[in-house]
Amino acid sequence: MSDGSLPALPTADQLRSEVRNWLRDNWTSLPRNVDPWTSSPERIAWLEKVLDAGFAVPTYPSDWFGRGYPADLANVIAQEFAAAKAPGSRQDKYNIAANTTFALGTTTLKDDLLRDFLVERARTCLLYSEPGAGSDLAAVRTTAVRHADRWVVNGQKVWTSGAQTADYALLLARTDWDVPKHKGLSLFILPMKQAGIEVRPLVQITGEAHFNEVFLSDATVPDAYLLGGEGNGWRALQTALAYERSIMGDTGRGSRNSRADSLLELARVHGKLDDPAMRHQLASVLAMRELNKLTNARAKAAATQGTSSSLMSLGKLAMSKILHAEAAVKSQLIGAQALLAGPENPVADDVNFLTLNAFFTSIGGGTDQIQRNIIGERVLGLPREPEVDRDIPFRQARRS
């Protein structure tokens, strides 16, 4: 009979040895994942192994695929996976759907979907923004109306990445029009593969079409797939947004051909490492990256599972600036080549792609302007911007 005591935690050295040995026995490599919105059978099989070993979400309790480790031990696992260039560990820091489901979902929802989210057997998208409700996200007008044990959803979403291939979506919908806008929202996990959901791709400035507009006509979602309870959607959304901003604050998307990802290598190849003016610009960008790592570490230390941290906005805003600055330096490094494009000019094509794609971080997950508002109000304690419709029933709010 158990005496109720918890199992002893390993030391960092013991855990490091365990992870290294496990990776040595199990990790080889995976085929290059060309499409970031789908997962190959080989990748899913690998993530199954990582999850079953307890390395995917080590801070989760053992009942939910974890080990109950504190963050410092969990980070040891992430370090060893990074050294081996193996994916799948420490998803308790970045998997938006899984972490939001774990923090706020019903037992039914976690039983149904948590594992699939963690092994990428079920891919997700984010149904937040709408025409007329982007920066003012609390003004969404997509409705969810309860019918017995299900909700019926009608409305339109836009700028949804990965909606074409998603199996589920985090959906923000209005469930009460007679309370102020922030109080009448609910957050759901919506099955995407059903009648009543139409996805239309939107072509981006990079020529890709990862963004979409989504039309919902009597789509349904089980009541058990409600996150955080009815009317608590705004608070639940902050948890999901914190993970999204954390991811976007950690890194930016790489280039298409992997020919211009390394700033220092690009400078070396083009003979600019000894140029004093260029060295100054390189040092500035690299210093910003290092400072942002420390800011993100601070933000994550301040946030516990299922909560949000306003400091995440600092990291996201900084990464936006970093990506634009890096793209500008890379354009200077390659000089007139920046006028070229296409696969026959892979370096220039990559630099121009990164220049254009930097705007994604400036807009997605809340614009740079929204992050400045959050930082001003919640970090610096500045007065809140005027919001005339904040405290009136949303039904009475003026709408365009």
Q: Does pLDDT of 222 surpass 70?
A: yes
Exposure letters 342-352 (e unless 16+ CB within 10 A, then b): eeebbbbbbbb
Beta bridge partners of 125: 169
Decide if 99 is inside a domain. Answer: no
Decide if 384 is inside a domain. Answer: no
Q: Share the mean pLDDT of the chain.
A: 89
Give the end of a domain, one of 168, 199, 232: 232
Active site residues: 244
Q: Are residues 329 and 267 in the same domain?
A: yes
pLDDT at position 296: 75
pLDDT at position 385: 83
Which residue, among 130, 127, 123, 174, has the nearest Cα to 152 in the 3D structure? Answer: 174
CA distance 353 to 220: 38
pLDDT in tens, 257-306: 666 678 888 888 888 888 999 999 999 998 998 888 887 777 666 655 55
Q: Are residues 281 and 339 in the same domain?
A: yes
Q: Are residues 268 and 368 in the same domain?
A: yes
Q: Residue 151 belongs to what H/E stretch?
A: strand 150-158
The DSSP letter of residue 50 is H
Decide if 390 is inside a domain. Answer: no
Q: Are residues 352 and 280 in the same domain?
A: yes
138, 234 contact by CB (below 8 A) = yes
pLDDT at position 19: 98
128, 237 contact by CB (below 8 A) = yes
Decide if 181 is inside a domain. Answer: yes
DSSP string covering 247-284: HHHH-----SSSSS--HHHHHHHTT-TT-HHHHHHHHH
Decide if 338 is inside a domain. Answer: yes
pLDDT at position 291: 86
The 10 Å Cβ neighbour count of residue 61 is: 11
pLDDT in tens, 170-181: 999 999 999 999
pLDDT at position 375: 86
198, 177 contact by CB (below 8 A) = no
In angstroms, what CA-CA distances link 3 with 6, 7, 9, 69, 167? 9, 11, 17, 20, 43
pLDDT at position 263: 85
Q: What's the predicted TM-score (pTM) here?
A: 0.84
pLDDT at position 303: 58
Strands 185-191 and 226-227, sheet pairing: antiparallel
Decide if 114 is inside a domain. Answer: no
- CATH code at 167? 2.40.110.10
pLDDT at position 102: 97
The DSSP letter of residue 225 is G
How many CA within 13 A on the CB side of residue 254?
Answer: 11
Q: Which residue has the higher pLDDT, 362 or 171?
A: 171
Q: Are residues 213 and 265 in the same domain?
A: no
Beta bridge partners of 158: 213
Per-residue pLDDT, averaged over 300-316, amounts to 66
Q: Domain range spanning residue 136?
A: 124-232
- CATH code at 273? 1.20.140.10
Query: Which of 190-194, 326-330, 336-340, 384-388 has the least mean pLDDT?
Result: 384-388
Q: Are residues 217 and 301 in the same domain?
A: no
Decide if 223 is inside a domain. Answer: yes
Q: Are residues 371 and 259 in the same domain?
A: yes
3-state helix, strand and coil shares in percent for the chain, rounded to the nearest 5: 50, 15, 40
Q: Are residues 148 and 32 in the same domain?
A: no
pLDDT in tens, 151-161: 999 999 998 99
Q: Which residue has the higher pLDDT, 28 or 367?
A: 28
Which residue, among 29, 114, 8, has the nearest Cα to 66 in the 3D structure? Answer: 114
The 10 Å Cβ neighbour count of residue 389 is: 16
Decide if 281 is inside a domain. Answer: yes
Q: Are residues 305 and 362 in the same domain?
A: yes
Q: Are residues 258 and 375 in the same domain?
A: yes
User: How many structural domains comprise the chain?
Assistant: 3
pLDDT in tens, 324-348: 999 999 999 989 988 888 888 888 8
Query: Which of 75-79, 186-190, 323-327, 374-378 has the least mean pLDDT?
Result: 374-378
pLDDT at position 384: 86
Q: Does pLDDT of 309 surpass 80?
A: no
pLDDT at position 313: 81
pLDDT in tens, 234-265: 999 988 887 777 776 666 666 666 666 788 88
Q: Are residues 260 and 348 in the same domain?
A: yes
Q: Are residues 256 and 220 in the same domain?
A: no
Query: Which of 88-97, 151-160, 387-396 has the least mean pLDDT?
Result: 387-396
Q: Torsions phi, psi of 105, nearest 5? A: -80, 155
CA distance 108 to 72: 31
Q: Does pLDDT of 77 surpass 90?
A: yes
Q: Tokens representing 315?
A: 């990291």
